[in-house]
Amino acid sequence: MSTNTSRFDFLLLEFSQVWELQILHFLVFFVFYVATIIGNLLIIFAVAFNHHLHTPMYFFLMNLAMQDLGQISVIVPKSMMNSLIHTRHISYSGCVTQAFLFVFFLASDVFLLTVMAYDRYVAICNPFQYEMIMNMRDCIKMVGTTWVSGLLYGALHTTGTFTIAFCSNIVNQFFCEIPELLKLACSDSFQIELGVLILSFIMLFGCFIFIIVTYIHIFFVVLRIPSVQGRKKAFSTCLPHLMVFSTLVFTGSFAYLMPTSKISSHVHLALSVIYSMISPLLNPLIYSMRNQEIKVGVKKLLKIKYPSSST
């Protein structure tokens, strides 16, 4: 196409032209999607219905689960439906909406994980003033800021992408991902892409440096705790957060910050699946396995009898 694609549908990546393989793709995505929905809903309900978990850390975790639900729900159902009805189409407005919402939830995730690092810093390095600093009113403001910041970032990112003219409507990705859309530009999109990369780099690098510096302070304080049990408890609240943030940032950085011409389509597809689907699935698993209070909350929610501490 030589004109702007606003009049046309986009064509998303087709995993296979064989019907049986398309059904397999549908089933695999369906299992991932259902597992992610169940895991994150358990986190949300466990925190909401257990007053022992009405603390800043679990309030942040509940919002993280909401963002993960939004992130995967924006892209996976459409991909599953396309495989099921044997089509590749997504409307122009649908593509704009999908790109905007995905970046919105993804950016909100990064901002919230940064806030959660600050929460751990105050809890471990300044525990006597924790309740005063991390009171619920301020926590609500922090969470609201992450949502609003993600909204503004998503709007800016999406507007910069869809103001360009596209020479093709074939997106080499299973959802409307901005790096892949930039490859379709008719005009020289270097300035737009450079602006997007600079903005993304500033956001990610700023959050990354803040979290690294925060955890350096945390580790120094934890290592000075005389009790082995105390050190284990402190580390148990930090390690899940570090694992979640590392998975999201490193895979997302390769997908968004690497120049589109420097990375193969297969590698890019694999990284996109990890940060768009695997991360929302792993988050509740990581927190459930590493956090005893979440385990207890989920078991109470499901009314499962759990063994005593002596057992």
Would you list the domain boundaries of the chain? 5-301
Q: What is the DSSP string of 51-99?
A: GGG-SHHHHHHHHHHHHHHHHHHHHHHHHHHHHHTT--EE-HHHHHHHH
Q: CATH 1.20.1070.10: does it fit domain 5-301?
A: yes
Q: Which amino acid is located at 289 in the chain? A: M
C-alpha count within 13 angstroms, C-beta hemisphere, residue 129:
5
Length of the chain: 311
pLDDT in tens, the chain (311 residues): 444 444 578 988 877 777 778 888 889 899 999 999 998 998 898 888 888 888 888 899 899 999 999 999 999 999 888 888 888 889 999 999 999 999 999 899 989 989 988 998 898 888 888 888 898 899 999 999 999 999 998 998 888 888 888 888 888 888 998 878 888 877 665 576 667 767 777 887 888 889 889 888 888 888 887 877 777 777 777 777 777 787 777 777 766 666 555 555 667 677 778 778 888 888 777 776 666 677 777 777 777 654 544 44
Give the N- to C-terminal CA distance of the chain in Å, as an integer. 68
Question: 302 by DSSP, 3-state: which?
Answer: coil
Q: How far apart are CA 33 and CA 55, in angstroms?
A: 28
Question: 282 by DSSP, 3-state: which?
Answer: helix
Opening angle at CA 13, ends 8 and 15, nearest 5 = 145
Q: How far apart are CA 295 and CA 301, in angstroms?
A: 10
Please state the pTM of the whole predicted model. Answer: 0.85
Question: 242 by DSSP, 3-state: which?
Answer: helix
